Chain A
């Protein structure tokens, strides 16, 4: 089966919506905000996630519009991918969950970024290991190029 970019985008967007809801509820409970490290530790169950290999996070170097920044994540064999925006008031952006029949462990969505930051993704792989990566996205005023 051929999955085209639009299908991935649509599936990605719905996955994002699912991922966001529980976190929104959390925020309303007014618990103290968790740090990036705490959220990752929660996701991995304390297992150290290795940097780089096995996961890609595609994002623009400079956001054209901080309110809607296109990102894509992919990790072969992943069952879950967590996306965090450490520079946002609420860090968790989405958790994408992939079933065993998912043809490609990839998702695309658009996220809102409050400021320049290292958007971070962590994937849980089939063998129980975790991998992580980050992409620096700059949010700028713009206006003087020539």
Chain B
């Protein structure tokens, strides 16, 4: 059994010592001097096995700014529970001092100011340094990649995911699972799997025709005298949230009984520990932990949550390791007699100005970027305010993208997908790389079509139910579809079909008429044969035409209910 006593060394980087120093008002150089690599890596070894987890990097090879959400509503049992706590409430829940490095890494308040103090986070050359240090201290360790690794950047799009396979091979990842990987299409996934040094595990990926397992479900790792079973769980709704026609051979789904079956088989094999490498999303993992018996650790991905403590459900611990390379989780375990007796965990923040880059990884990244360097670094325009995306409703990046859709395609209403990936941009230059960070994908065509008011309402209700359904097994993750030219009210706690009200056409303030057709521009359609310019070109043209953009607060969405 796990005792609360074993949950030592929680939180970030020896948080008590750091927050006590009161970084918030110090100049950046001093803050960096006070924050050291040794502090970030400081960890009192525990037990006999270490899991190293990273997930949802979305191909961001270099350090990024990434503002965490200001709105992350939890429904049903998840209400008020991490990760559905943001900002000051999050700081309070985990004992984080406002303005501290942890506050910058994990919450949104004062983001732009703190970003200037503490610098960018992530970068695979820094991650490599951290992984090497952990492995040196803990020979019995397993490095696991939760997926959404091959997608999300200019270089990953140009190399069709190959850059990330090379990086993960050099890093020494030992298994991965997947979601956006499949948007490169079945053939490319199979090509890249040939190049991978590690298996792509997916117990819930089935052959669509015969309804039989199509991928390796699990792998047993032997290390430090232990046998560790790792089960992969790919994103259950990949063919629904993304274009299923790109990988029609495969069927996904939560398949809870299948997970139980694979766990039981591993237990029957006599493994000492069962780990689920999951791309379910946090709330789905929480529910699965309460229903599937025999999983010791769930390494959770998909919903991009960074939680500084393990979440304990029965005898299972769930680890949420954030996104975009901002964090690496180290989980030390005491495994004896086929049981997990205790754990010690640290969500290691990758402060890129503090952690030394690993030279081998740094040169691989440079090699990958070299052919595209001029294109990546070209400055397209300037922004006067912070551009960010993450949050349940429109962020300033999305507002800018919606403005681009409206003006470049002469539309009344714009729709932009509520994805959770994409880095933030501080006031200053916007480069082509920044635009690709929030738009890169294999189906980025911008459509222009007519939709009735009734159809628009149906779409918004449908998306809202996929996010705010009270049963996590019906949630697909992601955030609400972003809209331009349209205002609305939403009650996330209401039922399917009755969450959205007060839809208003912003250009004239008229209520949206169910019977009238509206000209709508949008991107990332899951339908085959969508035609139009690529979203990144359209956004680039728009920013170029503006020269300087000035993000304004979005007051056209009202959130109600409780």
List residues of chain A with CB under 8 Å of any chain B CB.
Answer: 5-6, 9, 58, 60-62, 64-65, 70, 108, 116, 138, 140-146
Contacts and interface: CB of A to CB of B under 8 A. Distances in A.
A142 B462 CA distance: 8
B401 interface: no
Given A64-B240, A142-B240, A70 B211 contact: yes
A60 B241 contact: no
B240 A145 contact: yes
A4 B393 CA distance: 48
17 contacts: A5-B210, A9-B210, A61-B474, A64-B253, A70-B211, A108-B211, A140-B240, A140-B462, A143-B241, A143-B417, A143-B524, A144-B417, A144-B418, A144-B476, A144-B524, A145-B235, A146-B421
B474 A64 contact: no
Given A61-B474, A138-B474, A144-B417, 12 more contacts: A5-B212, A6-B210, A58-B257, A64-B244, A138-B465, A140-B240, A140-B465, A142-B466, A143-B524, A144-B524, A145-B235, A145-B476
A53 B106 CA distance: 46
Contacts of A116: 496
Given A6-B210, A9-B211, A116-B496, A142 B526 contact: yes
Nearest to B179: A145
Contacts of B252: 64
A102 B239 CA distance: 36
A58 B383 CA distance: 52
Interface residues of B, number: 41
Tell me the interface secondary structure of chain A in the complex.
loop
Contacts of B496: 116
A146 B478 contact: yes
B237 A145 contact: yes
Contact of A62 (B419, B420, B463, B474): B474
B459 interface: yes
Interface of B: 180, 210-212, 235-242, 244, 251-254, 257, 417-421, 458-459, 462-463, 465-466, 471, 473-474, 476-479, 481, 496, 524-526
Contact of B481 (A58, A65, A138, A144): A144
A65 B244 contact: yes
Contact of B417 (A5, A61, A140, A146): A146
Contacts of A146: 180, 241, 417-421, 477-479
Contacts of A108: 211
Contacts of A6: 210
A5 B251 contact: no
A146 B395 CA distance: 15
A140 B420 contact: no
B132 to A, nearest CB: 31
A9 B209 CA distance: 11
- The 10 A-B pairs of least Cβ separation, nearest first, read A145-B241, A146-B419, A142-B240, A143-B526, A145-B478, A145-B476, A146-B478, A64-B239, A60-B253, A141-B462
Nearest to A59: B253
A111 to B, nearest CB: 14
Contacts of B420: 146
A64 B419 CA distance: 19
Contact of A143 (B211, B421, B525): B525
A58 B418 CA distance: 30
Contacts of A65: 239, 244
A114 to B, nearest CB: 15
Contacts of B253: 60-62, 64
A41 to B, nearest CB: 29
Contacts of B476: 62, 142, 144-145
Contacts of A144: 241, 417-419, 463, 466, 476, 478, 481, 524
A120 to B, nearest CB: 18
